[in-house]
Amino acid sequence: MLCYPTQELWLAPHRPLFLLAGLWAVLVPSAWLAPSGLVADPVSWHRHELLFGMGGAAVGGYLLTALPAWTGRPRVAPATTAIMVALWFAGRLAFALEMPPPWGSIAGAAYFVVLGGLLSQQVARAKAWRKMPLALAPFVLGCLATGATGGFGAVAQGGAPQLAPLFFALLISLVGGRAVAAFTRHRLAASPDDPPFADPRWLAAAALLALLAAMAAFGTPGLAGALLVVSGLLQLARILAWRSWRSARYPALLLLHLAWLWLPLGLILAGMSQVLPLGLDAATALHALTMGAMGTMMLAIMARAAMVRQGTRLCVSRRLGGAFCLVNLSVLTRLLMCCAGASGYTVLLPLATLCWMAGWALFLWDFRRALRGPIPRPVLSARSRP
């Protein structure tokens, strides 16, 4: 199904890395459907691999795709892309085989360290200093991946699994917020019937600072929870400022706005789980960030590489629309598990897993067209570029 000429696969970094992100999104949750005992620790497996395996591949694919636009330099060479893929596989193998420190930690962080080094070196050479925070972000992911495998004592004792989703939320706020705003501004500017697009910078900055403060106050649950709620409310205010309901006429844009909605909802739920005893456990609340914000935003952005271009518009196929619906249904089902008893849990967990896997399988089926032929410029937009 996904066999293509080797040379075409490596022409652009998003091709193999988005493919791996989709494949891992299908494979990893299958641990919940496997016979008991086949996977030694399905909780740690799916948590680590969806964050650093699927999430790492998606982040790398996006940042390496955006790099030429930041620096004005050519695309990443196929050989470099192949090295990144090899390092990604090394990290997956190290965790699966439970390599002891320091080798397991080194293998788990190598992909992120090399990615951060490549991005920061090219950004510094081009003097694109405004992009440097994003270029350095993989180093933080590398530290979190090391902590999750036992490389950092205190962080490894439970900190990394909670901090990693918050850091991904930070990346979504930075990268996703700019992407949603840019794509929305471009799309609405082409329609004379739409009023000018507004994206107050102070809202974005305030939400970001509140999230950073929450991460800094991680050891104080009450304070961290309150700051997460504040950050979520500020992100929700951005949706009102964007007037996201205007995107309903443009399906490719609507997917981004619906995915973005999970960010404020996830932050608010994660914060409330630490502040108010509402029967919502922290693990369930974090799934609104991981499955909800991370999963749907990655799907909405990666799907743009697979969409058919008609002039200056991207067209959402039925398969991609179905994929997005199934992934969202999976998130909602997982959140409902906190209200279900033991019998409900045994039904809802497989249902959420199957919906997630089916949604990402539909994405992979449509993504085939993005693995061959000329590389569109830009990859994630139908906007023409000289």
Least confident of 57-71, 220-234, 308-322, 346-360: 308-322
> How far out from the chain centre does Cα 76 lie?
21
Tell me the percentage of the chain whose pLDDT exceeds 70: 88
Say which range, 125-134, 225-234, 237-246, 331-340, has the weakest mean pLDDT.
237-246
Q: Residue 29: name the closest of 47, 17, 56, 55 by CA.
A: 47
Report the candidate in 351, 357, 363, 359 with the shortest Cα–Cα distance to residue 304.
363
Tell me how far apart the alpha carbons of residues 53 and 60 are, in angstroms, rounded to a whole number: 11
The answer on pLDDT for 263 being more than 90 is yes
Helix (H) or strand (E) holding 186: helix 177-189
Question: What span, in angstroms and rounded, lies between the C-alpha atoms of 368 and 272?
Answer: 41
Q: How far is CA 148 from the centre of its chain?
A: 18
Strand, coil or helix: what is 313?
Answer: strand
pLDDT of 71 strictly over 60: yes
**Ramachandran sector of residue 310 (left: φ over 0; alpha: ψ -120 to 50; beta: rest):** beta
Phi, psi of 313, deg, nearest 5:
-120, 145
Backbone angles phi, psi at 312, to 5 degrees: -100, 20
At 38 the pLDDT is: 64
When pLDDT is cut at 50, 70 and 90, the band that residue 97 belongs to is confident
Query: What pLDDT is stored for residue 284 in this prediction?
Result: 86
Tokens of 102: 């320091």
* Digit-coded pLDDT (tens) for 163-178: 899 999 999 999 888 8
| CA dihedral sign, ordered 333, 44, 177, 362 | negative
Judge contact between 273 and 281, C-beta under 8 A: yes
CB 331 within 8 A of CB 288: yes
Residue 322 CB neighbour total at 10 angstroms: 15
Give the residue-averaged pLDDT of 130-150: 87
Report pLDDT digits (tens) over 28-60: 998 888 776 566 777 888 889 999 999 999 999
Letter string b/e over residues 369-385, b meaning 16 or more CB atoms within 10 A of that residue's CB: ebbeeeebebbbbbbee
Please state, in angstroms and rounded to a whole number, the distance separating the CA atoms of residues 225 and 7.
49
Residue type, 371: L
305 within 8 A of 367, measured Cβ to Cβ = yes
**Mean pLDDT, rounded, for 267-283:** 84
Q: What pLDDT is recorded for position 153?
A: 41
3-state helix, strand and coil shares in percent for the chain, rounded to the nearest 5 = 75, 0, 20
